[in-house]
Chain A
Amino acid sequence: MMSKLDAKIPDGPLADKWTNHKAKLRLVNPANRRKLDIIVVGTGLAGASAASTLGELGYNVKVFCYQDSPRRAHSVAAQGGINAAKNYKNDNDSVYRLFYDMLKGGDFRAREANVYRAAEVSNLVIDHYTALGVPFARDYGGLIENRSFGGVQVSRTFYAKGQTGQQCLIGAYSALSRQIDKGTVTMYPRREMMDLVVIDGKARGIIARNLVTGEIERHSAHAVVLATGGYGTIYYLSTLALNSNGSAAWRAHKRGALFANPSFVQIHPTSIPVLNDHQCKLTLMSESLRNDGRVWVPKKKGDTRKPNEIPEEERDYYLERRYPAFGNLVPRDVASRAAKERCDAGYGVGPTGLSVYLDFRDAIQKKGRKYIEDSYGNLFEMYEKITGESPYEVPMRIYPAGHYTMGGLWVDYNLMTTIPGLYAIGEANFSDHGANRLGASSLMQTSGDGYFILPYTISDYLADDIRTPKIPTNTPEFDAAEKEVKERIDRLMSINGTETATSFHKRLGKIMWDYCGMVRNEEGLKKALGLLDELKEEFWKNLKVPDTANEMNQELEKANRIADFLELGKLLVYDALNRRESCGAHFREESQTETGEAKRDDQNFAYVAAWEFAGDGNEPILHKEELKFEYVKLQERSYK
């Protein structure tokens, strides 16, 4: 069974692996590229960069997104920045340091070779975005500005105020638009991938639903690339776009792709806290705010005074107190747990007691309001619109929220899943972030995957396919997949119960957050398995989907996604149960140090847990990919 997991990591010194590997990857000649079809699902930074680059190379690309325009993918909402190892600040940054910070930030649960490569191509990513017209912040000399970002001691983060994601996505989208204009890329907006079609063991197409007409479509290709983002909305309240979902990855999993480390979900420390029961999402406040904001709670339990009335000596700057070396810039998991710890101990602030202060008073005094406005103006505006309070006047209130998923489809060094011809890039794969994502490394990884890695590795696979004619869509495999999709939709439409998809989603989210969220234990996880089974059963008996399947039906879209989330949720719980150690964002109560920090167990858990689907209702099968650390020494993460 281990043979399923050949990561294909090249031999040789770490710094030479990608260079040597690239030299050996086979090419497809330009005349043959035109004859090869590639499907890309998703148009975020990973999907748009991959689709535009593959189009540029001359492949025949079809790209799909559920939004009305590729420009709206959720990468658009990333705020703080994108890393690169340019050493523009001469603060002794390097590819190695970026690699090291990512590995350490990920609590040594990522692959050395992949992470090193992500750091290596980061500089190309910045060059490309700049050439595309992404307006990174500049100094008066006209050169690019950099800032430091959570968990690191160098200034390597490129940014465009608090809109870095939007600006990069607009760049990637414009490059994609150029290819659409040229005709190398065909765009299919308002489409949702419903299933993967596997022929003779290879990924050869997808079944999609046209979200305007309800029509079920067949699309074939020589290879399929999933760039479908993360599944953080499984918690219902999360920082993700409302329609972000795990369905494409889950369907691929059910067709044979292994799913790796599903329970590694990053909890982001700086989200606007829950304000009311109707709330549908949590809005992220960029982590870059912690460069200048100081996190604190009152020293007195249940202190109900207004924050500005609490004198300096009665404030507990708990991050600075507990982690003097990094202070407010500790990594996300550490900051998140520390906030939860204070709130659980009764020191939380705000009407619910579930928030802490992020205070800019000192920074405004020291650096001036203008500086704060320039750096974070749009974030402050956003906060004020939502809460009705100005962070220039009173400290922000923040609390952790489900955010980025480090788990995803298992891929080898070539970014190929365990289904030949099926690739997963960006947040949809698992390989680069370990148990916790380093701030500002997601835009870097997703773009690197799409621009500079996948286009090379996929050609090696396609080199065998140059004689394969266009894949027909009238095969038994397409028939069967389409039939399954239609039957499932019919089934959802005909339950005719009394509860809406949203109500099931809320209940699912609560189970996941309570038992498989920031803190987990064996008892809770076992309980969650039963609760998820019950909820799934009720879903298929008591769901109500209005209207018909042959029109725009947003409730049907939701129902389809929740049906998958109910199954994926169980996989998260199995994964969390298996991992009897704390690491990164994943905190097992049974495994902590005397001071309450996460305690990793390298002896027993230095592996990637890759799960195989074993049929509906059966326990998934665990495969282990051992993580070998040749270039870094596994050490306890300490930010003290």
Chain B
Amino acid sequence: MKVKLKIWRQKDSRSKGKFEIYELDNVAPDMSFLEMLDALNQKLIKEGKSPVAFDHDCREGICGSCGIYINGRPHGNDHRTTTCELRLRRFKDGETITIEPWRAAAFPVVKDLVVDRSAFDKIIQAGGYISVNAGAAQDANAIPVPKHNADVAFDTASCIGCGACVAACKNASAMLFVAAKITHLAQFPQGRVEAPERVKRMVAKMDELGFGSCTNTRACEAECPKGISISTIAKLNREFISAKLKD
């Protein structure tokens, strides 16, 4: 298989970026998308050129490091798939593939396809936790949690923090990310105590960091590699309003 790659190149956050075009022969349908970029980089280095920087690590769809805009969609066309899980068998021989970094004011480009997603960490630091000290917990079975709640918590906690939801949103909103966390922690009796404070602080931090608001286009849900539902955003809104009413 052959592919033509149109890739966003940007030296660092202060430089201006531009697209470069590269051609790559001998790629195999079994290869992952990132293995294809590895192959490109090996070629570029041998030619004395600068390899393309991109974030990646576990390469099995769980660490959330990877995230590239592929042909106009975060993580590419496949449903519920991270960039590292995407396979070349999903592309046509000779296809031109456009590859860009996440585009969001709150995620500045660091280099090429690498963006700074530390804003997500700052949102979590603003309350995305249950305050309990190590060694202070009672027996795990002391507080039963209905299976349904545990399942909802699991589904929402499966967010990998990749940022596709933000990249997909025309407002670069972080609502799905925040909503997933709020919903996860709201399922547990342990998490309820701080719930009003948590939602107010996390939403305020999200706004402060330059993420936009939600206009219900559902692009985030469509692009989330872990299939997190926008019903969590409704939950977030309910939690937020109820917290505000208590003020």
Contacts and interface: CB of A to CB of B under 8 A. Distances in A.
Interface residues of B, number: 83
Nearest to B120: A69
A127 interface: yes
A385 to B, nearest CB: 5
Interface stretch (B92-100, B111-119, B211-219): B111-119
A274 B27 CA distance: 16
Contacts of A544: 45-46
Nearest to B117: A68
Contact of B50 (A138, A165, A503, A547): A547
A136 interface: yes
B134 A452 contact: yes
Contact of A77 (B11, B39, B63, B133): B63
Contacts of B139: 127
Interface string B116-134: 1110110011111111111
A500 B46 contact: yes
B64 A71 contact: yes
Contacts of A386: 32, 85, 87
A243 interface: yes
Contacts of B116: 68
Contacts of B151: 135
Contacts of B125: 177-178, 180-181
Contact of A69 (B51, B60, B78, B161): B161
B55 A74 contact: no
Interface stretch (A287-295, A409-417, A548-556): A548-556
Contacts of A104: none
A77 B147 CA distance: 24
A133 B60 contact: no
Contacts of A310: none
Interface centre among A385, A386, A544 (most CB of B within 10 A): A385
B11 A281 contact: no
A552 B45 contact: no
Nearest to A88: B141
B187 interface: yes
A131 B190 contact: yes
Interface string A441-465: 0000000000110010000000000
Interface string A135-167: 111111111100000000000000011010111
A420 interface: no
Interface residues of A, number: 83
A634 interface: no
Contacts of B34: 280
Interface stretch (A48-56, A246-254, A400-408, A475-483): A48-56
A212 interface: yes
A560 interface: no
Interface stretch (A25-33, A168-176, A427-435): A168-176
Contacts of B204: none
B42 interface: yes
A283 interface: yes
Interface string A298-310: 0000000000000
A278 B35 contact: yes
Contacts of A555: 41, 45, 51
Interface of B: 11-12, 27-28, 30-32, 34-36, 38-39, 41-42, 44-46, 48-51, 53, 55-65, 78, 80-81, 85, 87, 89, 110-111, 114, 116-118, 120-121, 124-141, 144-147, 150-151, 153-154, 157-158, 160-161, 184-185, 187-188, 190-191
What 5 pairs across the A-B complex have the smallest Cβ distances? A142-B144, A131-B137, A174-B129, A135-B153, A130-B140
Given A177-B128, A276-B30, 7 more contacts: A69-B117, A133-B191, A135-B153, A382-B85, A452-B135, A502-B38, A551-B111
